[in-house]
Homo-oligomer: A and B are copies of this chain.
Amino acid sequence: MLMRRSKEDTAKTRASIVGTASLRFRKNGICETGLADLMQAAGLTHGGFYRHFESKDKLVAEAAQTAFSSTIRAMQTAASKSRTSEGIKAIAHEYLSPKHRADRAHGCPLAALGSELARSDKATRAAATDGILKMIKTVASQIEGRSTRQAEKVAMAAVATMFGALVMSRIVTDSEMSDALLTAAKERLAAKD
C-alpha cells in the first residue's frame, strides 16, 4: 500500500478521477452515480476524493468540461476529413450514427446528460455553455457563403436537430422508429434551406 505520491502521480490520479467520472456520468447519469463506486472504478478508495475536489458538484463541472472537449474534438476530426461544403454532413453522419446512439459513455454529454445539466449548478452550466458554444462554432465553421452571425444561427439549429434526434432515438423502444429519427435528422441537415 503506497501512501503519498509525487506531484506527477497526484495530477495523474486527479485526471483519472475526472476521466472516469466523465464516462460514468454519461453512462448512468450524475445523480445515479455514487462517489464510492466512481472512486473504486478509478482504482481508489472513496476517502481520498476530497483531497482532489471540494464536492461532487465541483467534479461534475470538470467532468462535463472534459466530456464536451472530447466530443468537440471528434466533430472537428469528422469535419476535417471532408471538403468544407460537406463538413456538416460528415459531422451529422458521425453524430447520428447507430454507434454513437449505442455508446452514451463516450458520446456527446449534451445528449447523455442534457436535462440533468439544465438542473445543475452555475459552474456546471457555465462549463456546458462553453462546450455548447464551441460545438456551435465548430459546425458554423463548416458553413460557406454566410456571415459569421448567420452561420452561427444555422449552426445552432443544426446542433439542436442532431442532439434532439439522438436523444429521442435513444429513448424510443421501437428500433425502426429509432433509425428513422436518425435518418430524418440527417436528411434535414443535408437539405438546403
Rounded to whole angstroms, the CA-CA distance of A160 and B90 in the bound complex is 19
Q: Which residues of chain A from 147 to 165 have any CB-CB distance to chain B below 8 Å in the complex?
A: 152-154, 156-157, 159-165
Contact check, A164 vs B171: say whether CB atoms are below 8 A apart: no
Closest chain B residue to A153, Cβ basis: B184
| Residue interface bits A84-103, CB-to-B below 8 A is 1, else 0 | 00000000000000000000
Q: Would A188 and B157 be within 8 Å (CB), given that A125-B172, A132-B172 are in contact?
A: yes
> What chain B residues lie within 8 Å of A117 (beta carbons)?
171
Contact partners of A174 in chain B: CB under 8 A: 129
Question: Are B167 and A115 in touch, CB under 8 angstroms?
Answer: yes
Shortest Cβ distance from residue A132 to the other chain B in the assembled complex, whole angstroms:
6
How many chain A residues touch B (CB < 8 A): the figure is 52
Please give, as numbers and ranges, the residues of chain B lying within 8 Å of A132 by CB-CB distance.
168, 171-172
Q: Could you say which of B126, B171, B183 contacts A114, with CB atoms under 8 Å apart? A: B171
Q: Min CB distance, A130 to chain B, in Å? A: 9
Instruction: Tell me whether A168 and B157 are in contact (CB under 8 A).
Output: no
